[in-house]
Structure 1
Amino acid sequence: MPKVKVNDIEMNYEVRGEGEPIIFIHGSGASWKMWKPQIEQFSKKYKMIMIDMRGHGESSRHFPNDEYSMKLIAQDLKLFLDVIGIDKTHIVGLSQGSVIAQLFAIKHSSYINRLVLSNGYSEIPTRTSKWVLNISNAIMKLIPYDIIIKLMLKVYKDDEFTKKVLRDSFSIDKEMLLKIKTSEFPTHTDELYNITCPTLVMGGDMNIMGVDERKASETIYEHIPNATLALFKNAFDPLSTMKWEIFNDMILDFLEGKPIKQYEEVRLTEKKK
């Protein structure tokens, strides 16, 4: 797997396929391997560039002052594109990867052809979400890492496919997990208007452990001028595994500029032009 020097760190990435590039940005605690359900379909038409964010996978773990920073990771992405010589690309970001993609797009929208933001957030969606976040952080400090992972996977119940993909892609230890969980929460909703490229916002319609994913997705959609919203029924983060077939098909249509098909499991909302 190739690595490049970016922003005083080594950044790891995996490439599959040839053609127009797509940058894939994984979620918190994972690595490029979480995109395995997408590789077969996307690599047939595109050059998939799947990065390991700083602190994850085989990329460097270093953060200045030992403080985890999503803004710094977004800066890494810009410099990464410059180093590998890409000035225009599609971007697909999932969960925290969606946050990184938003922070990047706010400042560097000219780099992006089309943007997909799945299971993301631009602020704490509700007071309950903030309370749950604080409580979960306190509990995580007290229990062993393997128990934390088991509890996290328990919410997927009998979805063994999602559990396997997540297990195979986990790439951090408890120390890094706590740094991520206690880092500054992004609050950039009022800057989303700077994202001018066509954007597909995807999210689940469920509250999981008090986090209102529907509200978070709607907030992003409402503040990006050229956006489409797809809310998946009875689903949550990550849609890339829980609803991977529709997830893949919908994104491929969107990237090709085709009208997005109606799915029984998805509520689609498009802004009037």
Structure 2
Amino acid sequence: MPRVELSTGVGIHYETVGAGEPVLLIMGTGADHSLWNDTAKAYAQRFQVITYDNRGPGRSDHPPDPEQYTMRLLAEDAADLLDTLKIDSAHISGLSLGSAVAQELAINHSGKVRSLQLHCTWGRTDAWLARLFEGMRYPLDHNDMAMFVRTAFMWVMSPARLNDQPAEVAEIERAYLEENPYPPSKEGLIGHLHADLTHDALDRMDRIKAPTLITSGEMDWQVPTRYGREVQERLPGSALHVFSGPYSSHMAFVEMAEEFNRLTLDFLGKHAA
């Protein structure tokens, strides 16, 4: 499988599919690139899609020091990956933590960003979000990975899915913990939560020049829509789309995949050369 050693000092696993203008997909806290698989398949009909494991999860390196995980450092990994692949610029799409990484990439490497998608995004970690992230860290501090996964799924999945499909969700949790060939590491998860806790880009949003689509879900409990609106207010000309309905969760890209793909492919098409 493709792996590169970046100048930032970490080894990164990545995959590409499709042909056309490049689209870089950046995943969220503690998750590897495979969560993008269905999205990448849909995009690959028109674009070259690059997915990768951030430092921390999957097959990329897991630095043990939480200080080695900040949004700026994760964004430098993304920029260096594009350079290594000899891609001058790409359409950038980030989800949750990935959206914060995408913000830093667009702020500090504006020439690399053709268009920007920020899904389930926020611009600065306030006291409410800090308590949420600290609560997610608690089971990791007590070596209870099963409770971390259970808690994380509660935040990111819709209540409708959890209530209507309990057996399916339980099986996903079990397989994630017991059959995952690249299980999450405690160090990587704590590192990502450190990046979440220290994220602060709101006052630098005016440095983002790329056309930007922001999405949120009315049933997203982890990063409520008010945070996406706050980012939009700092980005003149950006568009905000709020998914609605019982499955409009933090994982709307999975639970509402058809609408998500239609919306985002339309945005990409408008900004492709």
> TM-score, normalization: structure 1?
0.83
More strand by share: 1
* SS of residue paired to 1:257: helix
Between Structure 1 and Structure 2, the one with more helix by share is: 2
**Aligned to 2:210, which of 156, 177, 197?**
197
Give the letter aligned to residue 193 of structure 1: D
Counterpart CA distance in 2 for 1:161 and 1:175 is 25
Deviations along 1:134-190, one digit per CA (max 9) or x if unpaired, are 344335423610122123224530355898499479741233222322444211101
Structure 2 vs 1, CA of residues 135 and 32 (structure 1 numbering), >3 Å: closer, same or farther? closer
**Range 149-158 or range 51-60, more displaced:** 149-158
Q: Which moved more, 1:67-76 or 1:188-197?
A: 67-76
Separation in 2 of the partners of 1:163 and 1:223?
A: 41
Structure 2 letter corresponding to 1:148: F
What is aligned with 1:91?
Answer: 92
- Corresponding position of 1:173: 185
Report the residue type matching 1:179 in the other structure: G
Q: How many residues align?
A: 255
Counterparts of 1:145 and 1:63, CA distance in 2: 17
The corresponding residue for 2:101 is: 100
User: Could you tell me how far apart the structure 1 residues matched to 2:181 and 2:29 are?
Assistant: 10
Contact 1:205 1:214 in 2 (8 A): yes
Report how far residue 241 of structure 1 moved. 0.7
Tell me the equivalent position of 1:43.
44
Change (3 A) 1:13 1:121: same
Q: CA RMSD in A?
A: 2.6
Name the amino acid aligned to 1:247: F
1:256 partner SS: helix
2: distance between equivalents of 1:163 and 1:101?
Answer: 32
2:141: which partner in 1? 141
Distance 1:54 1:98 in 2: 15
Structure 2 residue identity aligned to 1:70:
M
8 Å Cα contact 2:136/2:148 also seen in 1: no
> Gapped runs of 5+ residues in structure 2?
none
Q: 1:196, 1:226 within 8 Å by CA — same for their partners in 2?
A: no
**Structure 2: how far apart are the matches of 1:212 and 1:38?**
21
Unaligned runs of 5+ in 1: 259-273
Q: Distance in 2 between matches of 1:217 and 1:14?
A: 29
Contact 1:145–1:173 (CA under 8 A) maintained in structure 2: no
